[in-house]
Amino acid sequence: MSAPNPNPSPRLPIPVTVLTGFLGAGKTTLLNRILTTARGQRIAVIENEFGPVNIDSELLVQQSAEVVEMTNGCLCCTVRGDLAKNLLDLKSRRDAGELAFDRIVIETTGLADPGPIIQTFFADPELAEAYLLDAVLTVVDAVHAPRQLTEHPVLLKQIGFADSLLVSKSGGVAADALDALMDRLARINPRAPIRQLVAGELDVGFLLDIRGFNLNENLLAEDTPASPCFRAAAKNGSRVFDRSAHSDEISSLLLEHAGDVDLDRIGTFVQGLLDRHGDDLLRYKGVLAIPGQVNRLVFQGVHRLAGFDYGVAWNDDIRRSRIVVIGRRLQEDELRAGFAECVVNA
Ligand SMILES: Nc1nc2c(ncn2[C@@H]2O[C@H](COP(=O)(O)OP(=O)(O)OP(=O)(O)O)[C@@H](O)[C@H]2O)c(=O)[nH]1
């Protein structure tokens, strides 16, 4: 008789969380807290470090189902192929009963661009079947972020790609500086909830199973506690982001129409956008009302990888069409004009 499989009911796809943030932001600290707090969940960890030795894995004080170390390069560039290989290897070992884990957390280097890492999960069909990219969590260092944001464009990308923004070291800054940082983060990425990491308090419910890459009608749900989108706009009582307040290269834009958009025209508009500006588009999500269609059309994407599907019915909800785009050097006038051509006036 063969040995009992330690993982008798494998759940596929396996959820993956990408934990990112600039150097020293507090990624490993947060990972340790996730491993401690998410009791009962078997979490395998992939640690990436530039140098030849992975110090971070030694800093993991809590038990993980497995720690895979990836050194001597950054996941987003030199060792990206290794990431796919390691993920497939972990799954094979899980299938064979050698390993038991329910989810994976990937801790990136502080200099990683999350874009190529995200694309890995969609570009490889085998990975896409085995794994579900759940969310990008970005840790932002309250003390150093204001300066890092100016000096290191990769931090803007880490924030722009995030499904959840977690501010560390907030005790180290004055209240008004913290408010200014929060506003700046909300302007860069209005769709990611922002939470302060407070020592000893961590609700993993906000960090795991976010389903940030799923196509569903909650993509832009501003009244969902887990995704208070458009925070900056709501705070200002306006739906226009104050883009003059800061000159961050990465920013966001909300395109909104109180009604339907034409399916062909919006398809052409989005396709043109991806063709021309795909490299600069970090994340974009949309919930659209299409004439004659009782269900919401939802779409989302990263760079040029986009997915569309029909979500839940509008029923008694007021039909409206909204797209939020987070990207670099967004051509606001072009985007607004292009979107305006798609609207269907009642
Ligand atoms: N005061 C304070 N210190 C923190 C907090 N989070 C992390 N730190 C400290 O910041 C330092 C860096 O934390 P790490 O968790 O190693 O950061 P990291 O992002 O994993 O760092 P790298 O892997 O080097 O990029 C450590 O000394 C932590 O103890 C926080 O919320 N408050």
Give pLDDT tens digits along the chain (346 positions): 344 455 444 577 999 999 999 988 999 889 988 888 887 788 899 988 655 445 455 556 556 667 877 765 666 665 667 888 889 989 998 998 888 888 999 999 888 899 989 988 888 889 989 999 999 999 999 998 998 898 888 999 999 999 999 999 998 899 999 999 999 999 999 889 999 998 767 788 888 888 887 765 555 544 333 332 222 222 222 233 333 334 567 787 889 999 999 999 999 999 999 999 988 888 788 889 999 999 989 887 877 878 888 888 899 989 999 998 888 888 899 999 999 999 998 6
- Is 144 close to ligand 1, i.e. is its CB under 6 Å away? no
Q: Is residue 292 within 8 Å of 330, Cβ to Cβ? A: no
| Ligand 1 mean position, distance from CA 48 (Å) | 16
H or E stretch at 106:
strand 103-107
Per DSSP, what are the bridge partners of residue 306? 301
Q: Is residue 7 within 8 Å of 97, Cβ to Cβ? A: yes
* DSSP SS3 for 281: strand
Ranges of each domain in the chain: 14-206, 235-340
Nearest atom of ligand 1 to the alpha carbon of 30:
15
Please report, in angstroms and rounded to a whole number, the separation of the first and last CA atoms in the chain: 70
Q: Which of 20, 22, 28 to mutate to test the pocket of ligand 1 (most atoms within 8 A of CB)?
A: 28
ipTM (interface predicted TM): 0.98
Nearest atom of ligand 1 to the alpha carbon of 55:
23
- Is 277 close to ligand 1, i.e. is its CB under 6 Å away? no
Question: Domain 235-340 belongs to what architecture?
Answer: 2-Layer Sandwich (3.30)
Rounded CA-CA distance 173/183 in Å is: 15
Nearest atom of ligand 1 to the alpha carbon of 168:
31
Rounded CA-CA distance 211/130 in Å is: 15
* DSSP SS3 for 25: coil
**pTM of this prediction?**
0.76
Residues whose CB falls within 8 Å of the CB of residue 275, separated by 6 or more in sequence, listed in order: 304
Of the options 3.40.50.300, 3.40.50.1370, 1.10.10.60, 3.40.50.2300, the CATH number for the domain spanning 14-206: 3.40.50.300
